[in-house]
Structure 1
Amino acid sequence: MDYTILGNTQMKVSTLCLGTMYFGTRTAEATAYQLLDQYIDAGGTFLDTANCYAFWVDNGIGNESEEVIGRWMLARNNRDNIILATKVGCRPAFVGAEFPRLAQSLTADVIIHDVEQSLQRLRTDYIDLYYAHRDDQATPLEETLEAFARLIQAGKIRQIGCSNIAMWRIERAKQIARSHDWPEYCCTQLRHTLLRRNRGADTDIQVVVDDQHLDYCATQPDLTLLAYSALLSGAYTRTDRPVPSEYQSHDTEARLSVLRTAAQETGATPNQVVLAWMMQGEPAIIPIIAASTSEQLQENLDAQQVTLSPEQLHALTYTTGEFGSGK
């Protein structure tokens, strides 16, 4: 397993982050334990969850993923070996609330209250990385950032990140944090994959990586980019999972052709090539991998063994149009 540093911190994390969204709901607890053990045995250290995973699943409440991780860490007695990330701001405001119209806010009261709930579910006294799960423009950034600063000062959390947010808002948050000598966002987590999403496609509260995010992260070492939904739920390899309509455009087939060629040349699977492209590109991106079986997880982990040539990286990035800084 390879490792990197998050943003301008001293926090070392594995370059593949394990997503745990459906642990305790669609993924049974026993299976979740097996996947967590397998990831750790491979050298992984970086777990990603949220205080809302996965409320939208049948019989889901939103506590399940954190609770499973908490019980697993207790059983394995390995909390100090884990970089644990969770999030606040995307639960329904109350049970049965219309989401996302009535989503949880990022006010100080919500943040201070919900971190305690997450700590209890995770059975720990600190969180390594605490994300603002979405951009709550109804709450002043100053209020959100001050609440995070208070939690860091109290030792409840170590670092902060942001998710589903435009680059200009990240930059504004950094300016505010610097003016008050508060901690800054060290990373941002966004939707990103090899295929480009159609302009105008409905993304709900999810924010897709754009050229501004890529350009900033390629030139400014203070912000690390993490990508979720990197493999489009298996659409790159599974015949029963077509490419989602929002990713079908004039350049889709050309990009898929380049992907298939790179996979053939390297002896890797298309999924592994997508993950390797992210990790070896500029900026280097940390993919959040997810799996429901040991075989799926191992395929993702083995992406670290794939080396792409400069020519392959360029073809994957720039086929039928520029994408990113071009550096």
Structure 2
Amino acid sequence: MKQFSLGQTSMDVSAFCLGCMFFGTLTTQEMAYQLADRYFEAGGRFFDTANNYAFWIDGATGDEGETILGRWLKSRKNRDQIILASKVGARPTRPGGGFESWEGLSARAIERAVEGSLTRLGTDYLDLYYAHIDDRQAPLEETLAAFDRLVTAGKVRAIGCSNLMAWRIEQARSISHQHGWAAYCCVQQRYSYLQPRAGATFGVQIAASQELLDYCQEHEDFSLLAYSPLLSGAYTRQDVALIPQYHSSETEARLGALATVAAETGATPNQVVLAWLLQSKPAVIPVIAASNTAQLDENLGALHVHLTEEHMRRLNSPDL
């Protein structure tokens, strides 16, 4: 599988990152192992989880995602071949709580959370540790100093962020550079081929803006990863409706361009979306997920889809 440099860290990561959000909840352990094995066999080495996946599922606590992935790593004895990412900040602090009770990004919360993640994942270090949300109550200096201590201690190799506005990312990176601390090397944001309508919001999730895309294009030491790139199947499944945030004046034109390019390339719309992300400027690393191996195989097939300059032009400017 093709590799991309993660910011200007020493790490190269797989072109597709495997999202493990529902491991142990909606995805059984048996299926999780099948998905992880299939991804690994295809050359994938970049796994993504969090310390709160997936607490919102009935009966779940948030331990499940890391725990199942940790069991797979132990059973396959391949930890040294994996780029392992987890997140801190959005885990509820009380049983049955929601995002209103999240742990946040204080130094104490980060130091406590990393130990829980390391235990559940059965490892003594994380390759990438994300600030999962933007905690406006914790001073950025406190958050970033805590992350830097984890890097210095060898518990974390690099840090990233998720669900932050572009100006907050620049503010955080500036503080880190001023102090000589580890700086955010990447951001994981909601992003897909269809663009949200102006003013659309997604609760705690932040969609990648044009400002963020410009920022990533200008800063070679900062990478962009896209979660929910396939909009939960809305591009191809009749039983999955496109959520209202993506209903805009340009949606039909973009869907038309997507269908045309898919027909010309012999690829599925999902594969064209993933190929478009990889071949865009800046290049975007999709965080893919699947409920079964057939879906994963379709996603992995996008690695073999080549979009010409004309395809990219039509996808990017469907009204022209």
TM-score range, shorter chain: over 0.9
State the number of aligned residues: 320
Aligned position for 1:78: 78
Q: Deviations over 1:245-285 (max 9, x none)?
A: 21111111100000000100100000000000000010000
Q: What SS class does the counterpart of residue 101 from structure 1 fall into? A: helix
Secondary structure at the residue paired with 1:158? Answer: strand
- The aligned counterpart of 1:31 is 31
Q: Which amino acid aligns with 2:58?
A: D
Q: Which amino acid aligns with 2:147?
A: F
How does 1:129-278 map onto structure 2 within 5 Å? 129-278=128-277
Q: How much has 1:239 moved relative to structure 2?
A: 1.1
Structure 1 runs (4+) greater than 3 angstroms displaced? none
Shift of 1:151: 0.4
Shift of 1:166: 0.6
For residues 184 and 317 of structure 2, the distance between their equivalents in structure 1, rounded to whole angstroms, comes to: 29
AA matched with 1:73: L
Q: How far apart, CA to CA, are the structure 2 residues paired with 1:89 and 1:70?
A: 20
CA distance in 2, matches of 1:58, 1:76: 29
Output the amino acid matched with 1:39. Answer: Y
- Structure 2: which 5+ residue stretches go unaligned? none
Q: How many angstroms does 1:93 deviate by?
A: 2.5
Identity of matched residues, %: 53
Once residues 239 and 66 of structure 2 are traced to their aligned partners in structure 1, the CA distance between those partners, rounded to angstroms, is: 31
SS in 1 for 2:203: coil
- Partner residue of 1:13? 13
Q: Deviations over 1:40-70 (max 9, x none)?
A: 0000000000000000001111000100011
SS in 1 for 2:303: helix
> Are residues 1:61 and 2:61 paired?
yes
User: Which residue in the other structure is 1:90 paired with?
Assistant: 90
Shift of 1:320: 4.4
Separation (CA, whole Å) in 1 of partners of 2:225 and 2:202: 18
Aligned AA for 1:265? E
TM-score (norm 2): 0.98
Aligned partner letter, 2:23:
F
Code of the aligned partner of 1:211: Q
Matches of 1:206 and 1:140, distance apart in 2: 21
Aligned residue in 1 for 2:309:
310
Give per-residue Cα distances to partners, 1:200-231, cap 9 Å, x unaligned.
32311100000111111112101100000000
The 2-side partners of 1:113 and 1:195 are apart by 38
Cα distance in structure 2, aligned partners of 1:166 and 1:232: 21
The one-letter code sitting in structure 2 at the alignment partner of 1:90 is A
